[in-house]
Structure 1
Amino acid sequence: MFILVFLFLGGVSSSSEDRKLCGFITSPDYPETYPNNYHSTFHIAVPDGYHISFTFQVFGIKPSERCTSDYVKVSADDKELGRFCGHRRYRSHPGHRSFVSTGSQMEIEFHSELITEDYEDSMFYQGFQAYYQAVDNNECTPPHDSDGTWTPPCQHFCNNYIGGFSCSCRPGYELQSDKKSCKSECSQVLFTEKAGIINSPRYPHTYPEDLRCNYRVRVVENLNITLSFLEFFDVDEQQAGGCPYDILKVFAGGTLLGSYCGRRSPGMLETHSHEVDLVFQTDDYGENRGWKLRYTTGDVDCGAPQSIYNGEVRYLSTNHTAEARYSCKSEYYTLSGEETYSCSLDGRWLNHKGQSEPPTCKPACGRTTLQSTSRILGGADARDGNFPWMVLFPIESLGLGGGSLISDQWVLTAAHVVQDNPEPRMRVGNVKPQHAKDLEGKRVILHPDWVVEDADQRKNFDNDIALVQLSHRVEMGPCVSLVCLPGEGEGFSPVVDKRGYIAGWGKKSDTQKRLRSPILQYAPIFVRETAECKASEKTDQAFTENMFCAGGFGKDSCGGDGGDPLMFEDQSDEVEGKKLFVGGIVSWGLGCGKFGMYTKVQNYLDWIRETIQKVELEEAGLNIETVKIC
């Protein structure tokens, strides 16, 4: 038995990835004479996405009438491409012709008969050598033997690449899940502004085919919508009339107002409704450019801009495109938010970010006229403007206390000062109490972990902090403003040797008979090691992480200073000018002029902010009056 030599790199394979891109096929024993009485079929397979080009390079097969004796037959795509025999001078010789398949497989059939005569003549025929190669299919063009019924693989654009193809769509369409068809999505588009622009997809270019668009306009009930078609109107129509191909339907309040196509613009349509639907449908053919319209509800009027606390807004008009500018009433407030707002088409005042919420005027904090070069030995009289946030609690029967304004409606103080006084009276606005203005407190909020007990028996001042809400807002000015709260970082912590300022109306010494000083006193003091303070005086009072020690050397808070602030300079880089923040609250001491213990405010920032926010949210919408101190 004879064996066929099959010398090509491809072949039959169950996996497209394993199929080779080129190879050789030869007759058995090539280049020697091929054997007699032999028949075999060779299968060529290349990867999917390719077709085969097959070429005989050497050909010498014994000739016969119609190649019925010895022959080579080439087949592909379920049809015979040719049967060949002979040599170069024989008419059935394939020459150097290439045979091309449409698919990725081809069959080569070789046949030789049993020789009974002319054996020596058959020895002159050495068989054949052929070469095949995989050729990339261009799926995006019709095959060379197309009979005109070829269907493109993609609805819009076909993009050929080696081994395959991909589809893409015209602008205005999206490729569907089959990765071949395209569809434009413009259904259930909603417009709710008082005026706007609507146009067909891709306007002013050709609108997509096979559209089902629905544009819905919904405005408030007391407005009527007017449609004004702009520029050109171009929707496919039938010459005999009617709109069987593409059509724009206008519905007002659910009733059909009109159906439109062709090149004649509908012009202006008064709908007499606050609800309009535009339904635009197209077929699968056409090169028309569509339509564009403006809908309006009359002149857009945004009304007066919203007013803000402690600020004002200026504007010349309330019509569309008008501008409004916000500012704060004085230098003692800072504007938080955008300054300029414009009247938009939907009747709202919007800033450049598209936000309608107006800005706020927040009181500036920490402003002081105190000079950094001030040198005080044991204390000194304060001047107006040095500490304009200082609050006095003139509680003659309960002793004296103080606090500091941290907002235009909140005072920060010590819990032991106000624990027995749910509606305290206060004075603010002058270093001399008799010239200060009265304030009323309507709510006292003690820290939830503060233990209320008799002052004479107290051994633990942990969590000695409280908030007092005022019955009226305080207007900021040259004689009254806010002290800043500390920040979160280490730069706001009361570290040892850090200098601060203590201020209050308390006694100047233990021997002073008067309950308070006639003028606000202040002094610079330094933060000390807590261990040093504990060792300076024998005491059974508790020392906790919520306290720190400061003072000594004759500079200290004294009786009547409970709740007063210990203030530090803000040294952060972004601060311009001298600003003070409250780092501590006078809590208890080891004797006047010695060391004092202060509540560490930084430990309570979350409680302060959350408490104020909760109360003010509960009171949102209430008209709280503002009192002017200066």
Structure 2
Amino acid sequence: MLLGWVESPGYPTGYLPHASLNWSRCAHKGHTISIKLIHLDMEDSQDCENDAIKVFSNGNLISVLCGKREFEELQSTVNPLLVSSPGGCLSLTFHSDYSNTKRHTGFRGFYTDQDFDECKDDPDHGCTQFCHNYIGGYHCSCRHGYYLDVDKHTCTVSCTQDLSGLHHGDISSPSWPAPYAENTNCQYTLSVEATLQLELHFYEDFDVEESPDGQCIDALRIETSSGILGPFCGHTPPPSPFLTHSHRVQIRFTSDGFGTNKGFSLRFSTRDKVCPAVVASHSTVTPQQPESQKGETVTVTCDLGYFLHTPGTQALTSQYVAMCQNTGVWIPNYACEPVDCGFLDIPKDGILQLVGSDNPHTQYKDQIQFNCTSKYYTLEGDDLYTCSANGEWVSAGGQTEMPKCIEVCGKPENQPAGAGRILGGQNANMGEIPWHLLIKAPNRGGASLINDRWAVTAAHVVETAEETSLSLYGGLIDGRTTSTMTNVVVMDSERIIIHPDYIKGIPLAQRTNFDNDIALIRLSSRVNLGPNILPICLPNVNRGLLDTEQGTVSGWGKTESRTEGRLVTSALLKYAHIGVYPLRVCKNTPYTHTTKKRMTFTNNMFCAGAPGKDSCQQDSGGPFVLPMLTGGSETYHLTGIVSWGPPCEDRQYKGYYTKVASYVDWIKETIEATEK
């Protein structure tokens, strides 16, 4: 039904309590449903909570009514709201409560399905010029000289022209010199022989709409094979003559739906092609001139930090010669590309790392920064590197080699408070001597950790294990708990390197010469450094020893039993502070018990001790460090390695040590050669 009445139950005699009504109608496409109430007499209540009419459009509540309204009020304020959306549905519900103080007649309304006038009632109909309404829809049309675009709403003008083959002519915006049409999308195509270029001459009367902040609202663009020039707008035309350096040009002009600007006008012509002043980006040419004629040559030099890769060669060069062709192009024409320093081969040990990203930019002038991930390492070298023009990463200090994370050495976190004799001397606490390692077999002795992969000991301790493997224990003070304590670090040797000048193969009982008693041990894996296992520093090569200079010796060797008065192997790491003896005392060497010969003393040794204090059997290979461990903030150096001495039973308290300063160069050279 296109029309009809809707009214309350019992109208006009009155509705009963608990009365109800549900009504709904839907409009055709392009139509609306409306209700015009001609009578309304219902019980009045706050918010119409007793008796009420509710009207919905597409399910959305648009009106709630109750009480009594005069016809004029219904016409002016109520009925205009009771309309569906185009093609939508209108529904109405009525209900009364259980009682009324008096009888009310109810309501009556007339509904109609009618055409919706999009041109009049819909401001967003989209027609840019004329809108024509018809039953169920609408139609757009245009003024004379315009045509309706494919969207069926926009009126535009036909201004696309193909002027290919013409060597001269005129182009202007639509309706020139009158204001150009709105919603224009003009495209003018020019094309001539490849040896010619098109040149544009703009007339000064240039007027294309722009915004107050200088942005183009309408725009002129010039497209050539090398790119798009523009947009151009305002009152200043492009420079004339405008050399396109191309034999194919497209001129595009677009406008919006508003404005009264005049537009543009130009004359096009041709001339022989010339080559532009710039051959390639990021480069300079010699000689420099605004343009070049056919046959002229220039030298192209890439800017600093850029290079060109010429076909057929792997060499990186930055200069070449180019010749201008009659087609206006330079031959050859190689691109200058930025130098790429590439990704650095960062060790996979996780200690040295890049700050920020693992995949940094690697081109010219890009920067990377390094740091060490552990506090037990310090960065050796500069931390900031820049990609240089020659393709190398260079630090601020001019270094090209990568920095390294070097172990912090000789800095125990726990410092001893005092010391006694190894022979019944002071027990060490955990972390006080973190570089001291224990060797239990094949010979009991000690070693010193000098970095996270290497240890140093006496040659005679590891002589019989040179061709095999041995275990070293760190991070402990009780030598009996190497297999039970969770904090013990077990290190296996990968290689044992005895000093080449050490005389091997002589039983210890018959040996009279311990010269060059030093050996290096390469561990099979990197040690995880911590407060209980840290390296000791190597001494300065030129550092001499002063008479009576005080140092500290440590070990798990023989010590005096407090109960039995005899020498027993110490279960705990002990240390003692002893002094360096004068050279004349050291040269007075003891006799051996087996050969009855005096032991040999060389410049590669020194001796040290103190009344009641000495190293002893099974302390061999352990460290003698300077300065004396005092609990201060000093840096400690491995000055000596326990090597030999008179029997501890003789109570001479004079031990002989390998002078490490004599072997620093050998240690560093051996490690460097092995790590390559």
- What is the TM-score when the length of structure 1 is the normalising length? 0.50
- Give the structure with higher Rg (CA): 2
- What is the TM-score when the length of structure 2 is the normalising length? 0.47
